[in-house]
Chain A
Amino acid sequence: MVLPVQVHPDETLARFIATAGRINKETLRPRVELFMPHPYFELSVFRTTEISHQACRDLGQREFADKLSIPTALVGWTDLKARHIFERKLTLDTSSPPNDPSHERPANVMGWPAFPGDRKMEKALHKEIALELVAAASTVRFASAGANEAAK
């Protein structure tokens, strides 16, 4: 499926999770660190509108977890509507990597504000934005079979 370059505000984006430490164990929501850009001012998400749980899980395993420096089992993901990104004055870049069929449905959250010379203030502001994104994101969808039911 060829997706338009422009992301529609109602599109669903998945932020994949490879570390259980990124999940609040009480609420099953992502922790704020999951939405903090590091080491660059960009955050990797995937465009997952209208794909099944299994297809999303396979995408996350193949395009995210398997491509980590130490490939691992995908823990899960959280969903977020693109409009929440735009509401925070951030942008979505879908152009990288251009025309590379080995990458599927990627997008980068860009436009994070910078405070040159004051990394701590910059981080505080990014944290504020990340808190808003966490509040807008879904509870975590677990990759392992039956895990979502068990977590309830």
Chain B
Amino acid sequence: MIPFASDAVPRYAIYRSLSEASGMDGRLVERKLREVGEDVSESVAQSGNSMKALSALNELFSVASEGNWDGESGIAVTPQVFANARRFLEQVPTRWETPEVSADPDGEISFEWSSDVRRRFSVSIGSDERISSAWLVGSERGHSVNIFLSEVPRQLLDHVDQVLAG
């Protein structure tokens, strides 16, 4: 357990507990999603891993939906970015482990999968359909920009499979 909590640490410095996120944060997320026309009643059949990631995404959004959320002039995550990130997460294969979910300083949302120090894949989801990603697999590395509309691009699937195969 990482000893993150401190009385001296402001709100943005702590990602709050999931139990807390499911209450107040859940309502905030629901309200924000309605703002961009998302169907909040949609029930998504998800694996345990995906549910964990969705909870982390909700939690993140509740913290990072205001500017300067990180104290370093981080740009706010908008409802549209959040909705796109959620849609992406709903499309990832259930066999994958739960990704790390975080907000980028530019207001995009990142998902990261890793199985070792040099086996990592990171993708950033923004407000449009173009998504930036990069990967590191041993001595090989690369980056790309892909279009995400309704399905996770094949190239990204292959890279994450490669990363998690290690």
Query: Would A131 and B106 count as touching, CB distance under 8 A?
Result: no
- Rounded to whole angstroms, the CA-CA distance of A125 and B145 in the bound complex is 10
In the assembly, what is the distance between CA of A127 and CA of B117, in Å?
A: 15
The closest CB in chain B to the CB of A37 belongs to B105
Alpha-carbon distance between A123 and B143 when the two chains are bound, in angstroms: 9
From B3, B126, B131, B141, A144 is in contact (CB under 8 Å) with B3
- Is A8 engaged at the interface, CB distance under 8 Å to the other chain? no
Nearest CB in chain A: distance from B56 CB, A:
10
Contact indicator A39/B73 (Cβ below 8 Å): yes
The verdict on B13 contacting chain A, using a C-beta distance below 8 Å, is yes
Chain A binder among B23-31, B33-41, B42-50, B96-104? B96-104
> How many of chain B's residues touch chain A, expressed as a range?
35 or more
What bracket does the count of chain A residues touching chain B fall in? 35 or more
Q: CB of B120 within 8 A of chain A?
A: yes
Complex: chain B residue closest to A19, CB-CB: B70
Output the least CB separation between A146 and chain B (Å). 8
The answer to the question of A109 belonging to the interface, with a C-beta cut-off of 8 Å to chain B, is no
* A33 touching B145 in the complex, CB below 8 Å, given contacts A24-B100, A72-B8, A123-B124: no
Say whether, besides A31-B102, A121-B132, A124-B143, A72 and B112 are in contact (CB < 8 Å).
Answer: no
Give A149's nearest chain B residue, CB to CB: B3
CB <8 Å contact, A19 and B13: yes
CB of A22 closer than 8 Å to a CB of B: yes
The proximity string for A residues 23-47 relative to B, scoring 1 for CB distances below 8 Å and 0 otherwise, is: 1111111011100101100000000
Bound: A24/B12 CA distance, A: 16
Q: Is the CB of A135 within 8 A of B120?
A: yes
Task: Report whether A28 and B2 are in contact in the complex, using a CB–CB cutoff of 8 Å.
Answer: yes
Task: Please determine whether B134 and A131 come into contact, CB atoms closer than 8 angstroms.
Answer: yes
Contacts of B117 in A (CB 8 A): 27, 29, 135
In the complex, are the beta carbons of A131 and B71 less than 8 A apart?
no
Chain B 1-23 residues near chain A, CB threshold 8 A: 1-4, 6, 8-10, 12-15
- Contact bitstring A122-144, B, C-beta under 8 A = 1, else 0: 01110110111011000000101
Which 4 pairs between the two chains have the least Cβ-Cβ distance? A38-B105, A127-B134, A128-B134, A124-B143
Q: List 15 A-B contacts (CB under 8 A).
A: A19-B72, A21-B15, A21-B63, A27-B114, A32-B120, A32-B134, A36-B104, A68-B72, A120-B145, A123-B132, A124-B144, A127-B122, A128-B134, A128-B143, A150-B3
Chain A contacts to B: CB under 8 angstroms:
18-29, 31-33, 36, 38-39, 68-70, 72-73, 75, 118, 120-121, 123-125, 127-128, 130-132, 134-135, 142, 144, 146-147, 150-151
